[in-house]
Amino acid sequence: AFFWLVSLLLSSLVWFIAVKASDPRDERLQKGLLIFGVMFSVLLQEVFRFLYYKLLRKAIEGLVALSEDGCSPISIQQMAYGPGGSRGGMSGAFSMINLLADALGPGTVGIHGDSQLYFLTSAFMTMVLIFLHTFWGILFFHGCEHRRWWEITAVVVMHLAVSGSTFCNPLYVGSLVPSYLLMATAAAWAYLLSGGSAQNLRRFLLCK
């Protein structure tokens, strides 16, 4: 969570400086800077995810050196759940803070003919991002551990796609539907990489 906060702070600082140094009356430029800020933030988050993987790798080597049997008590795959879940939880917390700030007013959402589904769709988007960060953590760490750079690239591309889809709002279908499809894909992929199978899933559903 701390690593995610640092990446958010740095990307926010870059965007803030860019906005202050530009003409605020140029709407096209400001929109371009916003898109740049989002894309830069995504890339910086993934860089910090990689740095955190390297930190955990060093920690595992330390655990192996201290263990009696020369084996780590926890695998890198198990460690991937923690960073992914914490990044997702922190991302969701920041999204909720923004929503609560907008809910304080002034005005009423949709009073000028805009969509009244802002808060509902934002809640669904927050939920999908929490899950996605968890799945992305598993995929990213697996790619780093096995030198599968295409898995790391896939995580970065999915992150960019989900973040970029939010620019379709207030056409919420254009952001929610692709995001949930990507979440289903990432969930199935992460499940298989974690050792899951169709037989295990069937046994789970049947409580065997």
Q: Output the CA torsion 51→57→58→59 (10° steps).
A: 110
123 against 79, higher pLDDT: 123
Spatial CB neighbours of 18, under 8 Å, sequence gap ≥ 6: 33, 36, 37
Give the mean model confidence (pLDDT) for residues 175-197. Answer: 90
Q: CA–CA separation, 158 vs 148, rounded Å?
A: 16
In one letter, which amino acid is 180?
A: Y
Q: Is the CA virtual torsion 35, 16, 128, 186 positive or negative?
A: positive
| ω into 24 cis (within 30 of 0) | no
- Which H or E run contains 180? helix 173-193
Q: What is the pLDDT of residue 150?
A: 93
- Residue whose C-alpha is closest to residue 116's, from 108, 105, 125: 108
Residue 48 contacts residue 11 (beta carbons within 8 Å): no
Residue range 73-107, pLDDT digits in tens:
677 777 777 778 888 888 888 888 877 777 776 76
What does the pLDDT read at residue 88? 85
Residue 47: pLDDT over 90: yes
Phi/psi at 109 (nearest 5 deg)? Answer: -65, 130
- Token pair of 133, please? 């960060």
Give residue 19's pLDDT band: very low, low, confident or very high (50, 70, 90).
confident
pTM: 0.86
CA pseudo-torsion sign 54, 55, 57, 62: positive
pLDDT given at position 114: 66
Rounded to an integer, the average pLDDT of 114-119 is 74
Q: In whole numbers, what is the pLDDT of the chain averaged over residues?
A: 84
